[in-house]
Amino acid sequence: MSAPSASLAPRRDLELSNLIWWLPRAAILGGLAFVIFGPLVNMLIWTVAERWYFPHTLPLDYGFSYWGRVFAPRGNAVQSLVASISIAFFTVAGSLALAIPAGYALARLKLPLRGLILLAFLLPQAFPNLPVYVNIARLFYEIRLNGTVLGVVLVHVTHGLVYAVWIAAAAFSAVDRDLELAARNLGASGLKAFVDVTLPLAAPGLMASAIFVFLESLDEFTGSYFVGAPDVTTLPLLLYSAGSGGNYQIASITALLLLVPSIAFMLVVEKFLRADVLAKVGQ
């Protein structure tokens, strides 16, 4: 009888100490959860608050009347939603059209100054970009691109190129070169081997870079503020003007619209960006 109890006692101690350790763990993790989700919950409450002012802890009335206003057929929000999404699609098309050849060249072909070229695409991320946008706006003003969709798309393409080119290059270098050579040996032309073999195999990585560029464009504020406003109103610009006008309901609904694709991307990013592609980024 004495043998089992001797071996059980330390285990019970271990369980007890584990339980006690859960007190600080739960406090810290709970605090972290509050700091991360608290602001998001506060935003969600604002989207359905009809009347809410100091010193009331919670709204006085709840309802969806602001949702109705946001999605009214001729409302500002629908216009900005359409503008934002079409700008993002044009931006993806533009940056992929530039990044697929560039990425392929970086991954497969002989290039002089390859390292320097990779670095050049990183530059827009390595400087605070506000001074650059200010001067793009000044340049665009002279050639009448200011306040046009094309102007905003060009700014977003430049900003998104670093992701597009770096991820495309990584996606192409993760494709097994032997498969291309096999296609060439069977008589396929270089272009046919690229379209039928290399491109489909690199597609998940290219898809990831497309989603990245899409989100960057959807969320971009500073460039659109200087180049687009007030003629082109994207969702971030609408959020900003609604918020500075004190209309927190419209601002919070717009914030929610911008938030959903970002969170969805966070949850699926690992499916698109496989480890073998990720390991080749920047090489």
Partner 1 sequence: MTRLLGPLLISPALIVILLLFMVPLAASVIGAFEVEGAYGLGNFTKAYDFYTQDIVFTAVIVGLSTALTGLLAIAIGGYLTLGENATAVAILRWLYRWPMFIPFIVVGQVLRTFLAKSGLFNSTLVAFGLLDPLTATSYLDWRGVVVAFVWKQTPFVALMVSGAMASLDRGTIEAARNLGASRLRILVEIVVPQVTTTLLVGLVLSFVTMMGVLSVPLMINAQAPTMITADIAFRLSTYRDYGVANALGLISLAISAVAAWFYLRVNMRQGR
Closest separation between CB of residue 102 and partner 1, Å? 4
What DSSP state is assigned to residue 55? T
* CB-based contacts of 2, cutoff 8 Å, min separation 6: none
For residue 121, the Cα-to-chain-centroid distance in whole angstroms is 18
Calculated CA dihedral for residues 252, 257, 262, 263, nearest 10 degrees: 80
Dist. CA 12–CA 79, nearest whole Å? 64
What DSSP state is assigned to residue 234? -
For residue 60, the Cα-to-chain-centroid distance in whole angstroms is 35
Rounded to 5 degrees, what are φ and ψ at 62? Answer: -110, 155
Closest separation between CB of residue 27 and partner 1, Å? 12
Dist. CA 173–CA 77, nearest whole Å? 42
Closest separation between CB of residue 176 and partner 1, Å? 20
Which one, 125 or 185, has the nearer CB to partner 1? Answer: 125
Closest separation between CB of residue 28 and partner 1, Å? 9
Which one, 5 or 54, has the nearer CB to partner 1? Answer: 54
Closest separation between CB of residue 256 and partner 1, Å? 9
Which one, 73 or 246, has the nearer CB to partner 1? Answer: 246
Which one, 1 or 223, has the nearer CB to partner 1? Answer: 223
Closest separation between CB of residue 99 and partner 1, Å? 6
CB 46 within 8 A of CB 249: yes
Which one, 1 or 109, has the nearer CB to partner 1? Answer: 109
Closest separation between CB of residue 35 and partner 1, Å? 7
CB 183 within 8 A of CB 196: yes
CA distances from residue 143 to 16, 100, 134, 196 in whole angstroms, order as listed? 73, 29, 15, 41
The end-to-end CA distance of the chain, in Å, is 65
Which one, 97 or 203, has the nearer CB to partner 1? Answer: 97
Which one, 183 or 242, has the nearer CB to partner 1? Answer: 242
- Quickly tell me which residue has 């340049």 as its tokens: 139
The token duo for 171 is 């996606």
